[in-house]
Chains A and B, each alone.
Chain A
Amino acid sequence: MNIHEYQGKGLFRDAGLPVVAGVHCTTVEQALSAYDDLASKIVAVKSQIHAGGRGKGVLYNPETGAEVMQGGVKIAFNRDDVETYATNLLGNKLVTKQTGEAGKIVNNLYIESGCAIAHEYYLAILVDREEKMPLIMASTEGGMDIEEVAESTPEAIHKIHVDINAGVTDAQASGLATALGLDGAASDSFVTMLQGLFTLFVEKDCAMVEINPLVRTKDDEMVLLDAKVSFDENALFRHPDIVELRDLSEEEGTEIRAKEAGLSYVKLDGNIGCLVNGAGLAMATMDVIKLYGGEPANFLDVGGGADEQQVETAFSIIMEDPNVKGILVNIFGGIMRCDIIARGVIAATEALGLEDPLVVRLVGTNFEEGRAILAASDLNIHTAETLAEGAEKIVSLIGGGQ
C-alpha cells in the first residue's frame, strides 16, 4: 500500500525525524495561505500522486489533452508563483515515467519550506529477498534516477544488510556515513536519522522507504526532503493508523472490488479475459494466450477454494472491461472441484448474459463431471483439454490476434 509524500512526512515528523515544515493542500486558496503561514521566502509546490518521477513529469489538461506545464514539483520564489503552480497542478493530469500515458490527476499538493541544500543523497530501506534481511541502500548521487545510477555506476551505491533484531548498529550507520563522505556534525546527524528511520521501517511494517533526495544542508544537518513510503499489505491488520492513510482514488477501482471478493485481479490492455485458479497458472495462462497471438485483458486468480459466488463475481469483473471480446477459463482442480466450477460458470454466464465466446479448460479433481455438465448445457461454451488448446481456441474464436 502506497501513501502520499505529505503523509510520509507526517509519519517522519511524528517519529522525530528531520523534515522541513510543510502543509498539505487541496485548493489554490489553501496553497496561498500555506505560503503565508510557512513564512519561507522560497517554497516547493509539490504534486502528490502515488508515482515517482514527478519532477520530470508533464501536466496536461485532462479534457483537451493540451500541455499545461513541465514539471510536477516546482520551486516558487514568491506568492504569485505559488498561485500559478498550484493552479497548473491541481485538477490536471500528471504523466511521469512511472504513471504510464494514462497519468494521474493531481488532487493534492504539498507546500514545503525551502532549505539551503549543500548536497543531495539517495537513501532507501527495503527487504532483500535473496538475503532475507532488510537492506539499506545509499548513494551520493541524490536526486538522480537510482536505476540509472545502478546501471551506470553501481559502485556509487553503498549497501548494508541489517539484522532485524539488532537494528542498525552505530558502527554500521557511521560506516555508511563515512562511505557517503560525511563527517563531523553531518555524520552524527546521519547516524541518528538512519537509526530512527530504520526503527520506523520495522515498527510500521514498511515495504519500502525511499528518500530521493536526502539532503545535507549548509548547516551540516541531514534532512529528509522526499518521502516515498509503502507498506506491506499483509501487515496492515496491526496498523489501523496506516490503513487510514489509504487514498482509494489513487488505486484501480476494479482491483479493490476484486480484493474485497477474495480475488486477485490486475487489468491489462488486451481483449481476452482470463479466469484461473492459482497465481502462477494465471500468469502462465496470460503467457500462452500471447503465445498463440492473442492479448490477455487481465490477470485473475480466483484462489484455491473459490465457490460459485466468487466465480460469478470474477466473471462480472472481467466483463466490466469493454475491451474483452472473449474469455478463457483455466482451472486445475485440486481442492477446488471441477464440477463446482462448471456449475459456477454456467450460473454466471446465464446470470450475466455473456454473449462473448467462452472457452473452458478443466483438469484435475472431478474433471469428467465438470466437462459433462458443460457439454450438457445449451450455452455457447467451448471446452479444451490443454492450456495450449484453450488459448488457440479462444484466439481463433475472437477472430485471431490483434
Chain B
Amino acid sequence: MAIWIEEDAKILVQGITGKQGTFHATKSAEFGANVVGGVTPGKGGQTADLGIIQVPVWNTMTEAITETDADASVIYVPPRFAGAAIIEAADAFKSVKGSGVIVCITEGIPTLDMVKATAHVRGIEGVRLIGPNCPGIITPSETGGAKIGIMPGSIHAKGRIGVVSKSGTLTYEAVAQTMSINEGQSTCVGIGGDPVNGTGFIDCLSAFEADEQTVAVVMIGEIGGTAEEEAAAWVAENMSKPVVGFVAGMTAPPGKRMGHAGAIISGGKGTASEKVTAMEAAGIRCANDPSEIGVVLLKALQDAGLR
C-alpha cells in the first residue's frame, strides 16, 4: 500500500516549462514515475520534453486534471507565485475529482502566503498539501516508483520503513541508514523546514500507523517550533509501531535562523534537547548521530520481533 501516493500515481508538474520544473520532472520520469503532464499559464498546448517522454502542457490545473485524472501535482514555481499555485491546485482537485495530493518543493515562500494557502487547503477535505520547502514524497516500487520531488531516486528501495522528515539531505541520510541494515522504505515524506507548512509529523505518523506495508517509522526533526513535541505526545497515545528518531540542531545557538526559515530557537522554545527529551519520553528511540539511525532502527525492529 504505502501512504497517500501509490507507486503508479499520475503526476502533474506545476511550472513544468521552467528550468527547475523540466529538470526534476525529467529525473522523476527517468526514475519511472508516472508523469502525465504539466501546467504553465500561457504555455497551454505546448509539449514538455522530458527526455524519455514528451508530455502535454496545460494553462490551468483544472484542464490538466480533467484531461489526465491526475492523483498528485508537484509545484516548482517561484516563491512569489507558489501560494497561488497551491490554491489553484487545491481548488482544481476539489472540483474535478474531489481529492489530490499537492507537493510544494519551492523554498522561500512568504509566511503569510502560506498562512493563507494552508487555511484554504485545510477547508478542502480530500486534498493534502505536502511542503513547502521540502524534498517531496516518494513511494518506491520494485522498478523505480513514484518520485515526486527532488530526492535522488537511486538511494531508495521498496520496503517496510516509513520515513518522515523536516530536512532534505538529512532525509537521504535516513534513507541510506535504512538501506545499511537491508531495509527499504514504504513511503518517504519530506514535510519541509518552513514555519508554516501543510502536512505535519502527526499526519504522517497516523498514516504510517494505518498502513499495512509500514512496520516502523524513522522521524527526523530539527530545531524550531513544537511539532516534534506534539508528535511525541501523539505517538505515546496512539502509535503501536516502533518509531526511531533524530533531531538536528543540538549545537544551534538561540535566535539564529539555521538555513531553513523555520529552524530557529526563539523565546527559549524549539531546542533540540527539549524535542529529544519529549520523543524519548514517548518511547521514540533517538540516535545522537545520523550515522547511528540504522543501528537504532535495527534494535527497535529486533525488540519488536520484526528481525
Contacts and interface: CB of A to CB of B under 8 A. Distances in A.
B153 to A, nearest CB: 9
Contacts of A268: 251, 253
Interface string A111-135: 0000000000000000101101110
Given A147-B267, A299-B259, A283 B222 contact: yes
Nearest to A280: B167
B28 interface: no
A279 B173 contact: no
Contact of B111 (A147, A234, A278, A290): A234
Contact of A164 (B119, B170, B224): B119
Contacts of A278: 167-170, 259
A205 interface: yes
Interface in B57-111: 79-80, 108-111
B250 A279 contact: no
B239 interface: no
B263 A388 contact: no
Interface stretch (B8-16, B43-51, B287-295): B287-295
A24 to B, nearest CB: 25
Q: Size band of the B side of the interface?
A: 35 or more
Interface in A126-146: 127, 129-130, 132-134, 146
Contacts of B112: 127, 164, 202, 205, 232, 235
A164 B115 contact: yes
A364 B171 CA distance: 12
Interface stretch (B31-39, B209-217, B225-233, B296-304): B225-233
Interface of A is mostly: mixed
Nearest to A235: B110
B262 A129 contact: yes
Given A130-B230, A283-B222, A296 B115 contact: no
B195 A127 contact: yes
29 contacts: A127-B195, A129-B262, A130-B225, A147-B267, A163-B119, A164-B119, A165-B119, A234-B111, A235-B111, A238-B110, A266-B253, A280-B220, A281-B168, A281-B169, A283-B248, A283-B251, A284-B170, A284-B246, A284-B289, A286-B250, A286-B252, A287-B248, A287-B250, A288-B291, A290-B251, A304-B150, A334-B169, A364-B172, A387-B291
Interface of B: 27, 79-80, 108-116, 118-119, 122, 135, 150-152, 154-155, 165-173, 176, 193, 195-196, 220, 222-227, 230, 246, 248-253, 255-263, 267-268, 272, 288-292
Interface of A: 98, 127, 129-130, 132-134, 146-147, 150, 163-165, 202, 205, 207, 232-235, 237-238, 264, 266, 268, 276-284, 286-291, 296, 299, 301, 304, 332-335, 363-365, 386-389
Given A234-B261, A279-B222, A304-B168, 11 more contacts: A127-B195, A129-B225, A266-B257, A280-B167, A280-B260, A281-B169, A283-B222, A287-B288, A290-B250, A334-B155, A335-B152
Q: When A and B form their complex, which 8 residue pairs have the shortest distance between CB atoms, in order from nearest?
A: A280-B167, A279-B259, A278-B169, A280-B170, A235-B110, A283-B248, A334-B152, A281-B169
